[in-house]
Amino acid sequence: MITPEINKGKLAEQKTKSFLKKTFFEDFIFDNPKVREGRYEREICDLLILFDDALVVVQCRTKSFPKSGNINTYIRKTTLDCIRQLKFSKSILFSNHRIFLSNNRRGSFEFDKNNIKRVFYLVVLEQDIMPIVSAREAKDINPKIFDYGFTPQIFDLNDFMYVVNEFDTPTDFFEYLEQREKITKDMKFNMTDESELVAYYRIHERHFKPIPDQEKADMVTLIGFWEEYKKGKYANQVAERVGADRISYYIDDIIEKTHTSKDQLYIKVATILGRLRRLERRMLAKAAIGKAIKAAKTNKPAYRMFIFPHRPEIAFLFLYTPEEKNKRRERLFTLTACTRKIARVKEALGIASEPINHKMVSFDFCIYSEPKDYKVDDFENKTIELCKKLFRSEKMFGQEKEYPTSPKEFK
């Protein structure tokens, strides 16, 4: 058992990882990756998240503020320790060193830096007293803090938990970090409360829009937005959104179980589903669960093709059937292939499961992409024509507002 007295840093890592697992699941999180330097191995960072084309490098610290001593000196030392490690992480991850990542689900594989397009560097501090570090405060700690070639984003543990809970899909989380990074480098902003920042971002349609007369101001402090967002005029809409999102966690459950399929392509399936925002997962879950209920009532196969208008490159196919597994997989492969061709998309993801009333629920997955040698003749015309007839009434296009009863999003 790890206690604060034994290993404070490890405790902070465990807490941070437990928060991140809700967003990224265990498949995309790697603890204490190491690189070999000569005869020895050196730790790259505390936590590394590798999802799609994005990399999140996390360094954690747990230290209680001393009863005596200068708080600025204390914050400076704790923060700089983490940033120095992140500087090393950056130099190693994008060097010519061969780095292997591993976790319990994916085993070991070589890290490919060429696939990375976005990188976020995070410091998570578990402190008794630790304000959010703004650009102004960061410069006080280290005047060269933004000269390292990356922007460290610094959180205390409680605020980090709140951010991850509020933006609990990879896409939502990355978009917030991208916008937050701009604020952390703006000397005008005095950030002392992450909840105010989150509320301002939510209210202004996921952007940090300039406030009136911002250019004339010497300093900008956000106050009162959290109160309005959670308890004021936006509270009812927020509650409605949270309630409407409950069904979306069905997609999270599928992502969590992708590794149980023992399919070599499981990580690709988890990535495709993981890219979906919370609102998109809500729409997809509604379409899927409706068919799962129908299959349970009729004890016959039921299926649904689903396409997002803003994601025309991919179609989703859900199949619910009481058939035995081999028969189910055969039907899934045929329907997924037909879905890709009929919907005229580059890729189709098929997901099959038992009807919703079964005690044991398992999933099968199938991905049909557009290989160069793909031809319509690969499937009998009779099969494709039958699928066309069936899909006319079973195809759905996703369209829904994040805040259900609001005529517009927040303005």
> What's the topology of domain 8-188?
Restriction Endonuclease (3.40.91)
Question: Is residue 371's pLDDT more than 90?
Answer: no
- With cut-offs at 50, 70 and 90, classify the pLDDT of residue 384: low
**What is the predicted pLDDT for the residue at 376?**
47
More reliable by pLDDT, 178 or 214: 178
Per-residue confidence band for 194, with pLDDT thresholds at 50, 70 and 90: confident
pLDDT digit string, tens, across residues 320-350: 999 998 999 999 998 898 888 888 889 999 9
How far is Cα 149 from Cα 366, in angstroms, rounded to an integer?
Answer: 41
Helix (H, G, I), strand (E, B) or coil at 5: coil
- CA–CA dist 307, 193 (Å, integer): 39
Residue 411 has what pLDDT? 38
- Residue 262: left if φ>0, alpha if ψ -120 to 50, beta else—which one? left
Residue 100's pLDDT is 95
The per-residue pLDDT of the chain, averaged, comes to 83
- What pLDDT sits at residue 133? 54
Nearest CA to 151 among 113, 118, 191, 122? 122
- What are the sequence ranges of the domains in the chain? 8-188, 252-397
Residue 117 has a CB neighbour count (10 Å cut-off) of 9
- Asked if residue 7 has pLDDT above 60, the reply is no
d(CA 108, CA 326): 30
The C-alpha atoms of residue 304 and residue 332 are separated, in whole angstroms, by 12
Report the distance separating Cα 193 and Cα 354, nearest Å: 46
pTM here is 0.88
* pLDDT band, very low/low/confident/very high, at 2 (cuts 50, 70, 90): very low
- The residue ranking higher by pLDDT, 398 or 320, is 320
b/e per residue, 120-155, with b = 16+ CB within 10 A?
A: bbbbbbbbeebbbbbbebbeebbeebeebebbbbbb
pLDDT reported for residue 372 = 43
Interior/surface letters 301-331, b for 16+ CB within 10 angstroms, e for the rest: bbbbbbbbeeeeebbbbbbbbbeeeeebbeb
pLDDT tens per residue, range 20-58: 999 999 999 999 999 988 888 999 999 999 999 999 999
Asked whether the beta carbons of 339 and 384 are under 8 A apart, the reply is no
